[in-house]
Amino acid sequence: MVLFFFMVLGSLLEALGVGLILPFISIVNNPQDIQSFDLLRRLYEFIQPSSYRDFLILLSVGLLAVYLFKNLFLLTLYYFKDRFIYNQQAVISRNLLSSYLYSPYTFHLQRNTAELIRNITMSLGAVFGGAIIPFMTILSELPVIVSISVLLFVVEPSITALICLIIGGLSALFYRYVRKKTGHYGALVQETGTSMIMWANQSVGGIKEIKIGGKEPFFLDAFSRYRFDNARANIFFSVIQKIPRLYLELILMGGMLLVLIAIIAQGGRFQEFIPIIAFFGFAALRLNPSVTQIVTSLNAMKFATAATDDVYRDVRFFRENEVKAQKCQAGHRELVFDTIEMKDVTYVYSGSKGPVFENVSLAIGRGQSIAFVGPSGSGKTTLVNIILGLLPPTAGSLLVGGQNIYGNDLTLRAWQDCIGFVPQDIYLIDDSLQHNIAFGIPADEIDVNKVWDVIGQAHLKKTVKEWPDGIETKVGENGMCLSGGQRQRVNIARALYHDPSVLVMDEATSSLDTETELEITRAIEEMSLQKTIIIIAHRLSTVKNCDKLIFMKDGKIAGSGTFDELVRNNNEFRKMTQLSRFEDAD
């Protein structure tokens, strides 16, 4: 509100600057005109200059001082306006990322990451460049137009009314003609922006397969198709934005020439009209950019409609999700449990025809080591995601210590604080080994001794000690400087850093050689004395000594027991072990 007040004040100063031109030119052109301007006459009598020339010099200095003050004021106003705009852009950018980070896991399953990246980068820039800044421009330029138009109307009402009618009518017709196309091309920029990011990610992410297969032309063509569609939309918008300045300039120039022709045709003395012509000319020079900016701002706002809708849709929920998360962190509590129990759990993915599994019930005791085994697509990963607190069951409940973890956010947060997770798809940040293990912890809060401790538990200490920079070694983008086995062990060390009471491992040894796999398996067996271990595994050699194996097939628990019990009692599991032996032999 304060900023708007100063914007209005700035427009009044603009009008003052224009208004001072007419009396100044009039008395320069004809000294007798000083009697026509009461304020100037009084000023002349008050100063009592030695000559009329000295008075003109003083007026010139005064006019220059007014313009200097006006421009300094406007420069300060521009600074505060831009500071407000770009600080708000930073705030909304942060809020948008917050909205994504605090959104449920199911939200991310349903959205393309390219779309989210587009919204944080391209769309947010479009919202501010095409909506917020143009709106602020309209707020600042509209009072300028109104105040200068009022001055012109006072001096020459008929000419001013005619000019306003022509400019206003043509501007309205222009906007009405282009608005639909502008909105269409704005939506096209959004669509192609998502596709550009998606194909760029896929091109760089699959570089090994692309180079081996010689598929560079395919990916280049796919990216280029959307890039040129995006360019076509921006070309249209760029050209459309230049038209208002050109036709307004033509109208104003034509108007000035018509006035001159009318004066000559009527045989009037040209000198008498110099002040009015100069006044209108100066006003036109100031009004042209203001009117142009308002028309182009309206076009920009229409062009940015699709981007604004996308950003608003995602950012409006950020406060609710972030407040929930902050309450959970503030109300942190320990979750004490003896059992993890699933009761009649059913899960159906959004848009799926049927459930992944239905009415599944099982219990895991504290300190037990449990392995979920079975063919791909049997529902193992979905079941574990429910245990991790990522997927609320469609029906049934997950009870930890008798509490439904999906019953309230505090319980869910307390449960997830108990978990260390080793995913199958390894994710490492482009930073040091230390920061990858103490994931998401500020540098000054990292416990270096604990880092070395978990490196030892992950059987990585000998390797790290051979590196010149030790735990400060940079791992590269997604750990590209490490071998597959090293990346997996960094992942295990990360999961152990917080000393979780529950360790969930999804194919955690899949990238390890046989010797290291045996070492990690022994370490897991040792940890099972203090921790509850939940494992998803295809390589059965890693789960032979688990307290209990749960064999899943077609979304159902097809058998459970120790490894030997399942081999004896379940034909399908027995076949699976035989195939596993062949794989291990290979």
Query: Can you give the length of the chain in residues?
Result: 586
In this predicted structure, the answer to whether residue 140 has a pLDDT above a threshold of 90 is: no
Summarize pLDDT for 468-515 with one digit per residue, the tens: 999 999 998 888 888 888 888 898 899 999 989 999 988 776 666 677
Write out 101-155 in H/E/C secondary structure.
HCCCHHHHHHCCHHHHHHHHHHHHHHHHHHHHHHHHHHHHHHHHHHHHHHHHHHH
Summarize pLDDT for 33-79 with one digit per residue, the tens: 666 667 767 776 677 777 777 777 777 888 788 888 888 888 888 88
In this predicted structure, the answer to whether residue 199 has a pLDDT above a threshold of 80 is: yes
CB 166 within 8 A of CB 258: no
**Across the strands, what pairs with 421?**
504
Helix (H) and strand (E) counts for the chain? 23, 10
Give the residue with greater pLDDT, 349 vs 42: 349
Q: How far apart are CA 573 and CA 570, in angstroms?
A: 5
Summarize pLDDT for 522-564 with one digit per residue, the tens: 777 777 667 899 998 877 877 888 889 999 888 888 889 998 8
In this predicted structure, the answer to whether residue 180 has a pLDDT above a threshold of 90 is: no
**Across the strands, what pairs with 395?**
346
**Across the strands, what pairs with 556?**
553
Q: How far apart are CA 443 and CA 464, in angstroms?
A: 19
- CA distance to 22, 64, 255, 268, per residue, from 36 (Å): 11, 22, 27, 21
CB atoms within 10 A of CB 232: 14
Which domains are delineated in the chain? 2-320 (1.20.1560.10)
Question: What's residue 450's pLDDT?
Answer: 93
Element (H, E) at 198: helix 157-205
Question: What's residue 271's pLDDT?
Answer: 62
Element (H, E) at 504: strand 502-506
Of 585, 503, 504, nearest in space to 541 by CA: 585
CB atoms within 10 A of CB 42: 10
Q: How far apart are CA 209 and CA 216, in angstroms?
A: 10
Summarize pLDDT for 74-129 with one digit per residue, the tens: 888 888 888 888 888 888 888 888 888 888 888 888 888 888 888 888 888 888 88
Average per-residue pLDDT for the chain = 82
**Quick one: CA torsion of 172, 173, 177, 180, rounded to 10 degrees?**
20
pLDDT over 70, % of the chain = 85
**What sign has the CA pseudo-torsion 72, 76, 81, 87?**
positive
Lowest mean pLDDT among 259-268, 458-467, 496-505: 259-268
Confidence of residue 15 (pLDDT cuts 50, 70, 90): low
Q: How far apart are CA 186 and CA 305, in angstroms?
A: 7
In this predicted structure, the answer to whether residue 585 has a pLDDT above a threshold of 50 is: no
Looking at this protein, which amino acid is placed at residue 434?
Q
| 4-18, 239-253, 268-282, 364-378: which is most confident | 364-378
Question: What's residue 333's pLDDT?
Answer: 64
Confidence of residue 586 (pLDDT cuts 50, 70, 90): very low
Task: Please name the residue that has the structure tokens 């794989």.
Answer: 583
Summarize pLDDT for 317-341 with one digit per residue, the tens: 666 666 666 666 655 667 788 899 9
Q: How far apart are CA 295 and CA 251, in angstroms?
A: 15
